[in-house]
Structure 1
Amino acid sequence: MELGKKTIQLDKRVDLLETIGLLVQLLRPRQWSKNLLVFGALAFSVDKMNIAGMKESVIAFLLFCCVSGCVYVLNDYVDRAVDRLHPDKMKRPLASGRLNPVVALIFGGVLLVCSLTAGFYQNLLFGLLLLAYFVMNVSYSLKLKHFVIMDIMIIASGFGMRAVGGGLVLETSFTSWFLLCVFFLSLFLAIGKRRHELLLLEHDKGSHRKVLMNYSEPLLNQLSGVVSAMTIMCYSLYTFLSSQSIYLMWTIPCVIYGMFRYLYLIHVLGKGGKPEALLYEDRGILACTVVYGITVVLILNLQL
């Protein structure tokens, strides 16, 4: 009898741990690297590089991770039937049927309320930005993702809001050129992702994502070329016209290499479906990112 009770308790603990693991997976931790843009304000503000500034940026990063995770919860709930048709997304907790949809919604709702409350407590404008970010992404998940061009522009706007959020918590600001650079870079990544989906689901693209019916490979290739050029131009102008050190221009070749490397990955190797994964998987992109970060920190802190 006692052995039976212990077995039941053990099974409940295993089920609880499995549910917790699925809920964490639902938040897509691998995509939290996108929220590292929050630290952009800290990296380019020498006077804010202290314990207090780091603390504010870390909290903002975690809150963006939580709110974006809530968006993923809602998105996976809405698209769970369609995701079952995708070779990769069919493995997600809700699409695979391993997680109860009601449990997922309750978890997402509680996490959202707590995250927004913490955001408003940290900074009023930052809290409003988090709320706007969530509303925009919910609108995207429910309706706007079906509108050609607008879908990738909304994705890019989300990255820009992350960069602005990092500035709000530190009470600092970016130049318009930097924000434009972030927007165009985000647009570049979104186009690459759409191109990968288009080729992956070439013969069944409408069943998974309706907007893919309005895209073609030549169009996305052309858009990618335009946006990559705009990204490099905006970043170059930022290094020359910002109030930071003029020697930031030394990082321009690093940015150009990173852009060209990514173009090589999506056009030659057929990657680009998971931009956040390429940061860890491709040595060229990873090395470029590390070198760029070290160079920026050295230039700004040595007051070159």
Structure 2
Amino acid sequence: MNTVSAFLQSLRVRSWTKNLFVFAGILFADHWTNPRALGITALGAVGFSLLSSSVYLMNDVADRERDRNHPEKSTRPVASGRLPVSCAISGASFLALAVLSVSWFAAPRFALVLSVYLAMQIAYSAGLKNAVILDVLLIALGFVLRAIAGVTLAMDTGYHDVSISHWLILCTFFLAMFLGFAKRRSEVIALGPQASGHRRSLEEYSVRLLDEMMGIATAASIIGYSIYSISDRTMALVSTRLWLTIPFVTYGVFRYLYLIHVKGHGGSPDRLLLSDKPLLVNILLWVISVALAVNLCPGTGTTGI
């Protein structure tokens, strides 16, 4: 029973919030009120979450020695010895094979995106996580793949009017870069001189460098979303009033910066998302405002993101 509990803990269900990016496609394409589209996307998000959990298990096995030097990660089931390595490997393999098998049968293009994500995560665990800057870049690409996965799933299941905006992809990419650099900053500060003992890339980072890169990613995220909101393509295909949602994005990014620099948070984005009420309320208001803008003030052509 203790092994089962340890295995479930290793799935990191709290981190499944990252896979909400899968819903971006139907949100911006005005299919969020369609029960079938919503149900299919929810199943896709669950599949992506289970695949992500298999990656977490693989990472825990690969990093178990280094995690023992981390004040928080040392309590993880694999690092602490509560979950045997053999069980973690078996569980990760089963989850990955099950998700990919079902996906290839039901939605081939969606399965292809999942396969690319898994291959990228394996490369990350195999050594790219120790490459400064590239480590965060790969994390950001993982978020981009989540958004693309939602679109491909919609197309695989008959919603061919859902498309991908390059601006929205860039916005997702830079927002994820911002969150990734914020996490690295928290690790550098928390671990101090022992940072390199946990992750080799951390010795190449400094708080000043991370602050500068966070600033660039922050600006790119807000500007990218703003340009997307007022672009001719968005006005024609999505909504003529999406620009009204820009303040929510701006506040959300600035609120996160406040939590990082004033409150000392940032080490766990998924935990912060669920624990900071102003940030959570702002995200909910943003989702509602996007849904209303797309539904009440639709574009002049076919839908898309």
Matched ranges for 1:56-71 at <5 A: 56-71=40-55
Q: In structure 2, what is the Cα distance between the partners aligned to 1:170 and 1:126?
A: 9
Among 274, 278, 290, the alignment partner of 2:272 is: 278
> Residue 180 of structure 1: which of 141, 152, 170 is its match?
170
Which letter maps to 1:76?
A: D
Structure-2 residue corresponding to 1:10? none
Q: Is 1:259 matched up with 2:243?
A: no
What is aligned with 1:268?
262
* Alignment map for 1:219-298 (pairs within 5 Å): 219-241=209-231, 242=234, 243-298=237-292
Question: Which residue is equivalent to 1:302?
Answer: 296
The residue type paired with residue 157 of structure 1 is L
Deviation of 1:87 (Å): 0.5
Cα shift at 1:301: 1.7
Q: What is the alpha-carbon distance in structure 1 between the residues aligned to residue 179 and residue 31 of structure 2?
A: 31
Aligned counterparts of 1:101 and 1:34: Cα–Cα separation in 2 = 26
Question: What is the aligned partner in structure 2 of residue 163 from structure 1?
Answer: 147
Mapped to 1, the partners of 2:51 and 2:272 lie a distance apart of 23
1:90-101 maps to which residues of 2 (within 5 A)? 90-101=74-85
Cα distance in 1 for partners of 2:247, 2:218 equals 14
State the TM-score, normalizing by the size of structure 2: 0.92
C-alpha deviation, 1:42, in angstroms: 1.2
1:224-275 alpha-carbon deviations (Å, 9 max, x no partner): 1111000001100111121211211011011101010101111111110000
Contact 1:245 1:299 in 2 (8 A): yes
Which secondary structure does the structure 2 equivalent of 1:170 belong to? helix
Q: Distance in 1 between matches of 2:151 and 2:163?
A: 5
Distance 1:116 1:252 in 2: 37
What is the rounded CA distance, in whole Å, between the counterparts of 1:173 and 1:121 in structure 2?
A: 22
Q: Distance in 1 between matches of 2:91 and 2:34?
A: 35
Unaligned runs of 5+ in 2: 156-161, 299-305
- Any idea what the Cα deviations from partners look like across 1:107-160, whole Å, max 9, x if unmatched? 111111111011112211111110110110111011101111100000000000
Partner of 1:145: 129
TM-score after normalising by structure 1? 0.93
Q: Give the match's secondary structure for 1:46.
A: coil
- Given that 2:167 and 2:227 are in contact with CA atoms closer than 8 Å, whether structure 1 keeps it comes out as yes
- Cα deviations by residue, 1:173-226 (Å, 9 ceiling, x for unpaired): 221000100000000000000000000011211111110010111110100111
CA distance in 2, matches of 1:47, 1:150: 35
Question: Which segment is superposed worse, 149-158 or 115-124?
Answer: 115-124
Task: Report the residue type matching 1:275 in the other structure.
Answer: P
RMSD (Å) for aligned C-alpha atoms? 1.1
Residue type matched to 1:173 in 2?
S
| Structure label with greater radius of gyration | 1
Structure-2 separation of matches of 1:270 and 1:48: 36
Contact kept, 8 Å, 1:44 with 1:300, in 2: the verdict is yes
Structure 2 distance, partners of 1:223, 1:47, is: 36
Number of residue-to-residue matches in the alignment: 288
Aligned: 1:126 with 2:125: no
Mapped pair 1:206 → 2:196: yes
1:48, 1:170 within 8 Å by CA — same for their partners in 2?
no
Residue 78 of structure 1 is matched in structure 2 by 62
Q: Deviations over 1:47-82 (max 9, x none)?
A: 464122112101110110011111100000011111
Instruction: Report the secondary structure of 1:173's partner residue.
Output: coil
| Aligned partner (choices 173, 178, 184) of residue 194 of structure 1 | 184
For the residue of structure 1 that corresponds to 2:193, the secondary structure is: coil
Corresponding position of 2:73: 89
Give the Cα–Cα distance (whole angstroms) in 2 for the partners of residues 36 and 47 of structure 1: 15
Counterpart amino acid of residue 97 in structure 1: G
Counterpart CA distance in 1 for 2:191 and 2:145 is 30
TM-fit CA distance, 1:86: 0.5
